[in-house]
Structure 1
Amino acid sequence: MAVLVLGDQLHPEYGPAADADRVVMVEATAFARRRAYHPHKLTLVFAAMRQFRDRLRESGTAVDYYECETFADGFDAHFETYPGDDLVVMESPSYGTSDRLSSLVKQRGGTLEVVENGLFLSTREQWDAYAGDPPYRHENFYRMMRRETGYLMADGDPVGGEWNYDDENQQFPGEGYETPDPPRYEMDETTREVWEWATELDGSYDTDPPGPEWADPEPFFWPTTREQALDALDSFVDERLAEFGPYQDAMLDDDWSLNHALLSGAINVGLLHPGEVIEAVIEGAREQPDAPLNSVEGFTRQLLGWREFMRHTYREGMPELASANQLDATEDLPAAFWTGETDMRCLSDVVDGVRERGYSHHIERLMILSNFALVYGVEPAQLNEWFHAGYVDAYHWVTTPNVVEMGSFGQGIFATKPYASSANYVNKMSDYCGDCDYYHTKTTGDGACPFNTLYWEFLDRNEDRLGDNHRMGLVYSHLDNKDDEERAAIRERASEVRSMAESMEL
């Protein structure tokens, strides 16, 4: 029996590949033209696959590696050489993938055994025992996972006496705050070959109309080998963990990385296991007296709690989640999400970061990009496509619940209110508003910040759907205080904002 290894299962110590004599891998390049994928993402996936192939071969494992257009082509070649071959693969977290692979293999006379994915920390059985009926609650799930794993637990209680230190992780750094530069990894010959292919591909997509280009990205620098990924983990623990927590929600115009771990890409292709990452963070904090518990707990919650929660809520919500749109949002995604050309300083800077590196941190994703799309009224599936294409760490299983549900309030499978915000949040947690051409204190009239205008217009147009939501009673009481004239002015300004966005003059 041979082990089929997918491009997001590249850990040498987990799953059936850990002790395999023979491995099968398919590098299907048609995948790269299905969306306007960022060249950093394509390079990470395909370079990491080739590096993993070479690692296995050096260790004595036989690897049949097929570079082809589609998985069907790869399996055609494989079963011509190995008629009736029996394969085993870890279950893909993305909806329908394992079923499609099984069908392709069966059509060619082989068999495919699908086993549990060992690159997560929770099982389907644990989820089923916990979950109950939606809306699912992340905090309850997170506490269950802490108990199951023992991470940050002592004698059955949370270390420090509290489960959650989020209220300590919403600080804004003072003027002149500086963070260590994150590691950047030089491209070797294998990675550079993929990078050159990926950048030449830019703009050549199978989409109709053809996808836009990610113009002028930075040279690729993300880890593509196990050794580089471990080095990146060490760098985070040694240099940025201590101040990760307090400032994890902050946004700075001239500091794209702050103290974030920047490990999600490596984890999501399997170069790192989430368990070893959490354990390295906990152990590293023991050796660092200046690493506060709120930093360690905040990081653990993102990986042990939120990432695992996304995997299960995606599985529960699909296939309906992918097209969910309970607010009936119909606007097209503004061109500024592709070009970064807008006078909104926050939106421009975050989009430019995605264009350059395929990355922005979680608050920029939720409270700038998704928040703007939500109050603007963007169809959730369009926003999800953009995230899926643009981010180096993006996969359907993780973008869909984050973007469609959390960011767009698309289904209600776990979100109990929309994460809509005015410019107040951006002004509180960033340095964008001070030099912006728009006024964060204005809601209507010339120069009014689009976040303010669209926020109140969002509440106004969705009052029938959201007005009785108990978590939104306060904001709707503020809307009720606005008279007909003020509401009319908000609607007029919102129409102007959309016109400016459509004409690329926002």
Structure 2
Amino acid sequence: MSLPLDRSSEPEDVRHLVVVLGDQLDADSTAFNGFDPARDLVLQMEVIEETSYIPQHRKRIAYFLASMRHFRDELIARGRRVHYVHIDEQDNTGRFETEIARAQRRFRPSRTIVVEPGDWRVAEKLRRLPQMPEIRSDSHFLCSREEFAAFAAQHHRPVLETFYRAMRRKTGLLMDIAGRPVGGAWNFDAENRKSFGRTSPSIPPRPACPPDAITTEVLRLVAARFADSPGKLDGFDLPVTRTQALAQLDAFVAERLPRFGDYQDAMRSGEAFLYHSVLSGPLNLHQLRPLEVVQAALQNTTVPLNALEGFTRQIIGWREFVRGIYWQRMPHYAEANTLDAELPMPKFYWTGETDMRCLAEAIGHTIDYAYAHHIERLMVLGLFAMLLGVRPYDVHRWHMSMFWDAVDWVSLPNTLGMSQHGDGGIVGTKPYAASGNYIHRMSDHCRHCRFDPKKSIGEDACPFTTLYWNFLDKHRKRFVANVRMKNQYANLARKDAGELRTIRRQAAGIAEAVT
């Protein structure tokens, strides 16, 4: 195993100190432009603050630490000198900004270089360093912050579809030689809403990534030091190297992508991953690059167009869009709470102990795998929290705590904006409000649940359905004129005053019972 820099032989005359943050594990990033192995030094840091500023799933901690240590060895194999600070070193200050300052004093570089962070909190700390680093643009993304700012200036209210079409034109992905979208349409989402029947197609398993010596050492450390953190650590098989991530990509494209489009919104009991790529972690840590991921998908000529377009939209559309919104709106975006939701996260989100089968299933996935696919995140976990009235930022913090792929710039617009409608429509033009009937249509959970998704009143009424009608009633003034919610409010209008009073009382009882 390659070792970090020997501290007994300090490098002399360090020209550039290149700081690599934990979610920037790309050996070809702009941080290394002009890197001189003889004179420059890489700094990587494991710091306790980044594992404890919120409670974190043990698999999430292990994923970051194992990925960072493997990346260190990749850099050393390329001939780059690395100063690596381990989390359990006695003189570790526990914060990355003080570790950078300490390295600056120790090695006296003429310049410190870092790629722009993905987290506003981290960027603010870098700005307060005594020796301000040179912050370079992140070439990982297909749309720079400056490009998105220009796009936002041209569109009073930026929406995903407009941005996505611009990105298709920019990249040429799924465009014909005449500059038109392949297949004659920009979006095939209407074809991507199938649910599993009682006899569903088989689901190919994800390739396993058995822990090697480095990962095993990390797992022992996490088990000992973070024993009180949430989630299960056993069965760890996440891709912690670029090589493993590429193997995951190849398997997805060959085996699961062909059915991804049809079933991307479906759920099935006992299945955590279905046909999803599960590549968000390697993408968010920069082990994979978005363009290479989409290009790999497009090389499989047997994949239906609806699957290719849906996957492409996730990568070059939605992912880039939410990053742009994040950096346009921070730091005040984190405080947004348009619907005045003030309840805390339900306690069972940490345990999965609930009679609601869909929630028990999705939360069980987060506990076991530090993962839930996007429809579980949006239309089960997020939906219940929004209908209940949970503080949007609390939902974001839980998301950051429990998912191995979560980073701030992704999680905040997805949870606070799309899932909770806390931003009042910046990310989405309507709240993703639905009753238990949606979950019944898209899954088999209701067949195994004691609650009836068609009922909103009574002991066997589905809490989603009760809370759904209560949500529409409570926020009637805000949403009744929203053209995308016309049918929902037409249905609400059919309920008489007595039924709505009963729904309100039952909704209040649900809130009291779960928070």
Are the equivalent residues in 1 in contact too, given 2:417–2:428 (CA < 8 A)?
yes
Which residue of structure 2 lines up, in the alignment, with residue 8 of structure 1?
A: 23
Give how far 1:368 is off. Answer: 0.2
- Counterpart CA distance in 1 for 2:233 and 2:81 is 36
Are the equivalent residues in 2 in contact too, given 1:10–1:269 (CA < 8 A)?
yes
Q: Deviations over 1:422-478 (max 9, x none)?
A: 011101110101110111121101110000000000111112222232322221122
- Counterpart CA distance in 2 for 1:13 and 1:125 is 21
Give how far 1:354 is off. Answer: 0.3
- Counterpart CA distance in 1 for 2:172 and 2:97 is 43
**Count of residues in correspondence between the two structures:** 486
Q: What RMSD in Å do the two structures reach over aligned CA positions? A: 1.6
- Counterpart CA distance in 1 for 2:472 and 2:156 is 24
Which residue of structure 2 lines up, in the alignment, with residue 300 of structure 1?
A: 312
Which residue of structure 2 lines up, in the alignment, with residue 245 of structure 1?
A: 261
Which residue of structure 2 lines up, in the alignment, with residue 77 of structure 1?
A: 102
Give how far 1:217 is off. Answer: 4.1
Give how far 1:111 is off. Answer: 4.3
AA partner of residue 248 (structure 1): Q
AA partner of residue 118 (structure 1): S
Q: Which consecutive unaligned segments of at least 5 residues does structure 2 have?
A: 1-15, 87-91
Q: Check if 1:119 corresponds to 2:132.
A: no
Which residue of structure 2 lines up, in the alignment, with residue 179 of structure 1?
A: 203
- Counterpart CA distance in 2 for 1:218 and 1:253 is 21
Q: Find the residue that maps to 1:245 and give its secondary structure.
A: helix
Q: Deviations over 1:159-204 (max 9, x none)?
A: 1111111111111133232201111211112112222222334465
Q: Check if 1:398 corresponds to 2:407.
A: no
Which residue of structure 2 lines up, in the alignment, with residue 438 of structure 1?
A: 451
AA partner of residue 481 (structure 1): R
Q: Find the residue that maps to 1:157 and give its secondary structure.
A: coil
- Counterpart CA distance in 2 for 1:492 and 1:129 is 48
Q: Find the residue that maps to 2:326 and give its secondary structure.
A: helix
Q: Check if 1:448 corresponds to 2:470.
A: no
Q: Find the residue that maps to 2:380 and give its secondary structure.
A: helix
AA partner of residue 354 (structure 1): T
Which TM-score applies when normalising by structure 1? Answer: 0.93
Q: Which of 118, 135, 138 pairs up with 1:93?
A: 118
Identity of aligned residues (%): 39
Give how far 1:252 is off. Answer: 0.5
- Counterpart CA distance in 2 for 1:134 and 1:404 is 21
- Counterpart CA distance in 2 for 1:488 and 1:59 is 68
Q: How does 1:267-306 map to 2 (within 5 A)?
A: 267-283=283-299, 285-286=300-301, 289=302, 291-306=303-318
Q: Find the residue that maps to 1:87 and give its secondary structure.
A: strand
Which TM-score applies when normalising by structure 2? Answer: 0.91
Q: Which of 460, 485, 502 pairs up with 1:472?
A: 485
Give how far 1:92 is off. Answer: 1.1
- Counterpart CA distance in 2 for 1:429 and 1:420 is 15
Which residue of structure 1 lines up, in the alignment, with residue 77 of structure 2?
A: 58
Residue 337 and residue 444 in structure 1: after superposition, are their counterparts in 2 closer, same or farther (change >3 A)? same
Q: Check if 1:227 corresponds to 2:243.
A: yes
Which residue of structure 2 lines up, in the alignment, with residue 208 of structure 1?
A: none
Q: Which consecutive unaligned segments of at least 5 residues does structure 1 have?
A: 205-212
Q: Find the residue that maps to 1:163 and give its secondary structure.
A: coil
Which residue of structure 1 lines up, in the alignment, with residue 189 of structure 2?
A: 166
Q: Deviations over 1:106-158 (max 9, x none)?
A: x1xx4411111011111223323322355321000000000001111112111
Are the equivalent residues in 1 in contact too, given 2:149–2:328 (CA < 8 A)?
no
Q: Find the residue that maps to 2:288 and give its secondary structure.
A: coil
- Counterpart CA distance in 2 for 1:134 and 1:323 is 21
Are the equivalent residues in 2 in contact too, given 1:187–1:221 (CA < 8 A)?
yes
Q: Which of 485, 498, 502 pairs up with 2:511?
A: 498
Q: Find the residue that maps to 1:153 and give its secondary structure.
A: coil
